[in-house]
Structure 1
Amino acid sequence: MKFIDSHCHINFPDLVQDIDGILQRMHAHDVSHALCVAVNLPELPSVLELAATYPQIYASVGVHPDYEDTEEPTVAQLCVLAQAPKVVAIGETGLDYFRLTGDLEWQRDRFRTHIRAARQTGLPLIIHTRAASEDTLRIMREEGADEVGGVMHCFTESWDVAQQAMDLGFYISLSGIVTFKKAEELKEVARKLPLERLLIETDSPYLAPMPHRGKQNQPAWVRHVAEHIAQLKGLPLQDIAAASTENFFRLFHRAKP
């Protein structure tokens, strides 16, 4: 039985300085692979280096919507960067109206850039959406995101939003938030979510699942996410492990088991 952390940031300073320990604990918890997700261009080399160095680590290329004062990527630039070894996705990208306010047209333009790069490269998208689901889905439709598909990462939206995303060919990734006591709406999404559309993640170093809530998160703990989903669905843990792992390699088709 193996698990995959489909979204983490182990290139961040507090985690990368303990990379040997991170990988050892992954192995101990049956976590076979992790996808280290880019958030901006200046820090991208650290993501690519991890993927190039360690066989169990994959990488993505993109600029997070929360990074306002940072180098703006172009479609051509993202396409070139995506040719690096073990890059399996474009992102994370999307919209965040929770952390930032004011005129956010630049965020929407950046999102469109990423979708266009994904379509040109044929790579799936990693999408972040917070307090912006209507615009996120609208831009996904307008830009043809369904041509490449992808994942709605760290999903916290309603079942209706999940259905609309799945209708566009997207997977739904659940993080440690689903283990939180008050996340009742998200627990209901987890119960309804078809196994063939499920991914699991940590979003390390953030959002550690129970029983580690409040601590620095790490990929090994994605197993706790899977265990909680299994409980919610009334299914054996093996079913969650098998489905989420198979889905990972189906979506991120450049990744090899």
Structure 2
Amino acid sequence: MLFDTHAHLNDDAFKNDLEKTVNRAREAGVKLINIVGFDDKSIKRALEIAELYDEMYLTVGWHPVEAIDFTEEKYNMIKDLALNHKKVIAIGEIGLDYYWDKSPKEIQKEVFRKQIKLAKEVKKPIVIHCRDAMADTLKILQEENAKEVGGIMHCFSGSVESMKIALKENFHISLAGPVTYKNAKTPKEIARLCPSDRLLLETDCPYLTPSPYRGKRNESSYVKYVAQEIADLREMSYEKLASLTYNNACNLFKIKNKER
């Protein structure tokens, strides 16, 4: 039993074969999937998909790259969904992205802080997007006391020291396709060292496709390759790794669907 804790099945990459993609995920042992909506279009489509499939849950928030477009209306939409939609399990993906320059850093920080406060108000964990901004991201999590709700460092790409800080702030470490890449030294080290009760799996599909399909469209069924790589790195069985990461996600998201 696997839980893909971060998927973009709401992306246009899946508009022509969503049903087949979901069926392949089921056949691969993926029992639950968290779809992430991070702007108007992706949130709308995520809501539509969640209504179609029992195994789909939702995370809603406003992406840092789009922070310049964040308004009071967007804030209220996210808050309303978090409070009233039974399948919304987290706020995200939110954070900082210094790679793209669409939204100024100060605006990103302001929107990030607002959404952390919102997560605390609605009592939902946070899903963090961080690109080229680890120090500032961790600093804001500390200053805003985000540990009150905790959450996920999505597709974690930081150092071991950064991981230790994130763990102290009550965040889980989620690993995706890059951990399977031959020269991915740091992700493999993180996979070995992360405490077993804080480890999660994801695909971030259609992005970050794991080996052996790197270069092609990613999909939720491929989370099994992430699981196998981490199991090998930790010298444990695939079944045990799948079980512990599945239960970790259910505990974090307060889903009463844990493996027995």
Q: TM-score range by the shorter chain?
A: over 0.9
Per-residue deviation at 1:171? 0.3
Aligned to 1:244: 245
Q: Distance in 2 between matches of 1:187 and 1:37?
A: 25
Structure 1 unmatched runs, 5+: none
Per-residue deviation at 1:78? 2.3
Aligned to 1:45: 44
Moved more, 174-183 or 37-46: 37-46
Q: Deviations over 1:173-232 (max 9, x none)?
A: 000010011210111111111111100000000010000000000000000000000111
Aligned to 2:79: 79
Aligned to 1:195: 196
* 1:226 and 2:245 aligned: no
Q: Deviations over 1:19-45 (max 9, x none)?
A: 111111011110111100012124311
Q: Distance in 1 between matches of 2:49 and 2:99?
A: 30
- Amino acid in structure 2 at the alignment position of 1:81: L
Within 5 A, what are the aligned runs for 1:113-192?
Answer: 113-192=114-193
- Amino acid in structure 2 at the alignment position of 1:132: A
Change (3 A) 1:103 1:49: closer
Q: Which runs of 4+ in 1 moved over 6 A?
A: none
Question: What SS is found at the alignment partner of 1:114?
Answer: helix
Per-residue deviation at 1:62? 0.6
Moved more, 51-60 or 13-22: 13-22
- Amino acid in structure 1 at the alignment position of 2:40: L
Contact 1:149 1:169 in 2 (8 A): yes
Aligned to 2:211: 210
Per-residue deviation at 1:159? 0.6
Contact 1:86 1:255 in 2 (8 A): no
Report how many residues are paired: 256
Q: Distance in 2 between matches of 1:150 and 1:14?
A: 27
When normalised by structure 2's length, the TM-score is 0.94
Per-residue deviation at 1:75? 4.6
Q: Distance in 2 between matches of 1:4 and 1:225?
A: 11
Per-residue deviation at 1:68? 4.8
Change (3 A) 1:159 1:180: same
Contact 1:36 1:60 in 2 (8 A): yes
Structure 2 unmatched runs, 5+: none
Per-residue deviation at 1:126? 0.3
- Amino acid in structure 2 at the alignment position of 1:53: L
Between the two proteins, what is the percent identity of the paired residues? Answer: 38
Question: What SS is found at the alignment partner of 1:112?
Answer: helix
Change (3 A) 1:30 1:102: closer
Over aligned residue pairs, what C-alpha RMSD do you find?
A: 1.6
Contact 1:174 1:201 in 2 (8 A): yes
Task: Identify the structure with the greater helix proportion.
Answer: 2
* 1:19 and 2:18 aligned: yes
